[in-house]
Structure 1
């Protein structure tokens, strides 16, 4: 009898209160260089997301910064690739050594390093933009879970059922 009572107490404390909980949370999905936000399986537009984030200032700020960084990252990457290509192409030069004319290229190492740095910076901007969008969804979901309550336990009855077994019933409010 003590084992059953102990089992019922553990079952009671590990009871999940989300019986009829509707999934109102947002979901962020990363696609290549963008992060799209979904609600109930439908992709939300930027205007709908900003309307949802109206009451959550932190989510709204992070989402705005995400939208600012999103188009800048690829432009910086393209600029870095262009600068690195110019550095690798080099400048034609000619030298006369022992009476012979020798053609060669002068390549700029600082330009190449700056181009590679721009590529890395652009990639980090894209990644930061996606992380900000994901974090804004996480903040919104955590705030909506704390403010919305679906139900709570109103009454719990323990006793013997009609078939002479031990049982309990739970009433939700």
Structure 2
């Protein structure tokens, strides 16, 4: 029996700039495969056929007004690194989770501003790249542009890329 690991703290880097103390929260990309239904002759029902991966996106919420982030609006190849510390309970060994993203901030929600109150801006990034490392081990790496689809050290797209390379 154990307790779940929860996020104890995080930091974010965007194109190498440190946003410690400014990052508020993030919504991680949803990883999902695109599928379609197939029911052939003689089959009593449909089955799901894999059609590749669905697009990925992430949302980051920052406190205050950050001109450097606003200037990245609709700019391709923005690099984002989330450095996270997860821990089951006080005194247990923390787990390092690094999330590397590449894409474009294609939506900025400036929200509501009120004098004297905290301001939050949300940046939605459409992603072309995702890598998740846990304690230095790559668990998932997806590079849509370069045909990389690794999960648990297994390249699930290697055979397809070998065929395409001729």
Q: TM-score, normalised by structure 1?
A: 0.21
The structure with the largest alpha-carbon Rg is 1
- Whose relative contact order is higher, 1 or 2, with alpha carbons under 8 Å and at least 6 apart? 1
Q: TM-score, normalised by structure 2?
A: 0.21
Which structure has greater helix proportion? 1
Which structure has greater strand proportion? 2
